[in-house]
Structure 1
Amino acid sequence: MNRFLNSGGEMPEEKRGGDRKREKYEAKRLSVEWFIECFQGQESHYCRSKSINRIYLASGLTIRKMWRMYNTARDEDLRVKQSFFRHVFNTKYSIGFGNPRTDVCSTCIELLERIKTEKDASKKNVLMVEKTIHRLKYKAFYAILQEENEILQTITFDCQKNQPMPKVPDQSAYYSRQINFYHFAILVGNSKAKLDKSNIHSYYWDETSHCKGSNEIISAVYDFLKNFEFGDKIKILRIVSDGCAGQNKNTGMIAMLGKWLYTEAPTNIKEIELIFPVVGHSFIPPDRLFAKIEKILKTKEVITSPSEYAAVLEQNGMCKDLASIPVFDWKKSYESIIKPTTSWHFQFMKTKRFFITRTKTENILVQGEETYRNEIREKKTITKKNKKITMISPQVIQPNRVYIKQAKIQDVDRLLKKRLEMGGEIWKN
């Protein structure tokens, strides 16, 4: 009673029982945590921004493999059992292997789960109707992708997931920073077209030469359009890609297509259709090409230069190094000419189909539709007052001006020194 009064009225701490072994294994636990945190999470092809909730490691790793790597790298007094390592891995971290399945349609998953758990018959019918409507939407998109017509030219494009350089069978590569190799592919033809060298146009670069943003993607599409030979009967150019706002679905792409249509397109092309899929149902022809390329890359244990990746691309199509073509600053060039999307005559982000046509006054008309079958919206200009689409004149972005962090350069150099006698000199320029 006297101790209770002297403590200021606070209850005494319970000292019986509890975890008496925690302090004994504290050094091992901290060592395991430090080891796990050394691994570099791979960025998902679909998640452009880094997630603070979950990290994804290379698909070739497993908890068992990481445990073996840990015990190999540690002294006897810090080695642990697999169960101890697994417990720390599962309770302390939220880590997965491979890329997150963010390309799976969340609407399909949500409706399916709600239908399973709903007990009210009338509500269940409403959910089933909603799921049917959703299915009809993405089927309508794939029907458009399959369409063939002598007056229609279809092209599709997409970015492959980033490839690491150097790629080496060294366990230290799992927790080292690496240079990213980028591949952007344009395929000529609808979804029924064969994967042939003649209809595959690849643009490649790495993060030492250019960034991977809207300017690079738009410039590659612009280069393709300027050099592609359209048939005399073609009146409609249909462009299909996924709806990534940072690369494909943005004002810069619309502005570039409008400028090209008015100033450089063949006169027989009267209209451009820009089409985006239902979220989660974005399988388009470039994905078939990427699967074919990645199958080849899996057979190559060591890749230490961009030219080795480029050689694989050249087996499948016609290739261009992005550093060899002019990359323009489209974003800066259209800001003073094109209205912000909040001032457009339709909701930009909800739109699935854009229609672009010429006017007689050095301008373009744009129509936006939220569905794949109806065309009910009106066409209007998107330029600011007293501005014309022909006024867009982007400046060239010089290659090899990208700053690479010194820590990444050191990691790459260390990996190459283990594999090459040159000591990574190729990366130091």
Structure 2
Amino acid sequence: MGHIKSFPTLESHYSRKDTTKLYLEENLNVTKMYKLYVQKCHNEWKVNPEKLSFYRSIFNGEFNLGFHQPKKDACKYCEWYKRLNPSDKVHHEEEYNAHQTRKVQAREHKENDKRQAQAQSSYKALTFDLEQVLTTPWSNVSSLFYSRKLSTYNLTVYELGNKEAQCYMWHEGEGGRGSSEISTCMFQYLSTLSGTEHVVLYSDTCGGQNRNAGFSAMCLHAVKTLPISIIDHKFMESGHSQMECDSVHAAIETARKKVPVYSPEGYYTLVRMARRNRPYKVIELGHSDFLDFKSFSQHTVRNRTKDTEGQTVHWQKIKWLRYTKQDPKGIQFKYSLSDQPFQMLQVGKQETRGAHAIGPKKMHTGPPGITAVKKKDLLTLCTNGSIPQSYVDFYQSLQVTQAE
């Protein structure tokens, strides 16, 4: 049991909010863990190892662990429905059919917006998503499995009209992966568009990253300060959020299997080379680039609970948000992607008393850093040769935040 506990774990990228299950690195499995356990028994502990069947029974019975897979989690609702007995299926049939209808609607909308983006230069349609955490160092050296690693993040923006992809990348010593970081990446992307009047965003339903007041504040700020007139944000159905940007992440995962990666800079280079034709564009971000849209939302989204009809707004059920230059103090929204009219949420003022538009402030005054225990593990890997000498200066330079 102690050996299994010695492996660092990660939260699920796609279902952090509704599961306590933790994940080990995707290049591990129970058989490989058992082989490492046998090596420990023979070389360090000087004891006879238990059998693989016993090790596996402990893993399955005492731990809520899985192995990190570079794919979307399966739709938990659909899997649950499939396991129901016939009478229970009848009871939940209406709800299940509505779920399937929303799935189809989202995919049809995305295809229609793709066609319009291909036909109209002032219209942009795109998908965006945060890739699963990329850890460094990355190789098959056995000592790495027991060590904490540095996380690198990649927010991918994929334009449906021309199939171009941009990857906004940074490591955890420079920033986290919350709503402000995601909003900063998307604002940077929107700021690069010229001649674009209407932008349609597609994303999954992750509330902590892109369906929240901070992201809405960014969109309001964008239509107010940029040439863009309309931003639509449409959400894929939960459990069925496969999008074109997933192909970028798959290409990165494939490229990573071929080479070891010892630093975030290695990932930046790997991503640039992951697609031979029309290489992905990488935008490297540091702590000074991130804007605090979460705090900014306190000034721009003062009302987020009642619409103009006095009805409670259920943010987690919203499927379509619209922001317009014509009304930069209001958010239109729908609970479905049907032709029903938009409802309206008046969020409040966006100006200071002097009538000057306020903007988001920088999120950090210096690098947020990593934990002391993580830096200790990384420097140990430098000392024992798991990380080549040429990378030592980078790991030594990482700032430390408060310990875990």
TM-score range, shorter chain: 0.7 to 0.9
Structure-1 separation of matches of 2:272 and 2:71 = 29
Identity %: 23
**Amino acid aligned to 1:183:** N
Q: Is 2:371 the partner of 1:405?
A: yes
Q: Does 1:79 align with 2:37?
A: no
Describe the shift of the 1:132–1:226 C-alpha distance in structure 2 as closer, same or farther (beyond 3 A).
same
- Equivalent residue number for residue 284 of structure 1: 243
Check the 8 A contact 1:185/1:203 in 2, yes or no: yes
Decide whether the 8 Å contact of 2:287 with 2:366 is kept in 1.
Answer: no
Task: Please list, as runs of the form range in 1=range in 2, the aligned pairs for 1:131-280 lying within 5 A after superposition.
Answer: 131-147=96-112, 148-149=115-116, 150=120, 152-189=123-160, 194=163, 199-231=164-196, 235-266=197-228, 269=229, 271-280=230-239
CA positional deviation for 1:285:
1.1
**Residues 174, 287 of structure 2: 8 Å contact kept:** no
* Aligned amino acid, residue 404 of structure 1: I
The answer to whether the aligner puts 1:304 opposite 2:262 as a matched pair is yes
**One-letter amino acid of the structure 1 residue matched with residue 145 of structure 2:** Y
**Structure 1 counterpart of 2:111, which letter?**
Q
1:324/1:174 Cα in 2 relative to 1: closer, same or farther (>3 Å)?
A: closer
1:381 maps to 2:349? no
Matched, 1:337 2:296: no
Q: Is the 8 A contact 1:339 1:382 kept in 2?
A: yes
Structure 1 residue 368 corresponds to structure 2 residue 336: no
Provide the rounded CA distance (Å) in 2 between the counterparts of 1:293 and 1:100.
10
Contact 1:296 1:312 in 2 (8 A): yes
Residue number among 387, 394, 415 corresponding to 2:360 in the alignment:
394
Provide structure 1 residue ranges, at least 5 long, that are not aligned to the other structure.
1-32
Paired positions, count: 376
Q: 1:297 to 1:131 in 2, by over 3 A?
A: same
Computing the radius of gyration from Cα coordinates, the structure with the larger value is: 1
Q: CA deviation at 1:407?
A: 1.1
Counterpart of 1:317 (choices 266, 277, 280) is 280
SS of alignment partner, residue 286 of structure 2: helix
Secondary structure at 2:66 match in 1? strand
**Take 1:285 and 1:387, find their aligned partners in 2: how far apart are those partners?**
40
Provide the TM-score with structure 1 as the length reference.
0.80
Counterpart amino acid of residue 320 in structure 2: R
Distance apart, 1:376 and its partner CA:
2.0
Aligned equivalents of 1:127 and 1:223: distance in 2?
A: 43
Structure 1 residue 180, shift from structure 2 partner: 0.1
Q: d(CA) in 2 for partners of 1:322 and 1:423?
A: 19
State the secondary structure of the residue aligned to 1:181.
strand
Matched, 1:414 2:377: no
Match for residue 276 of structure 2?
A: none
Question: Any conservation in 2 of the 1:183–1:205 contact (CA below 8 Å)?
Answer: yes
**How far apart in 1 are the matches of 2:301 and 2:53?**
60
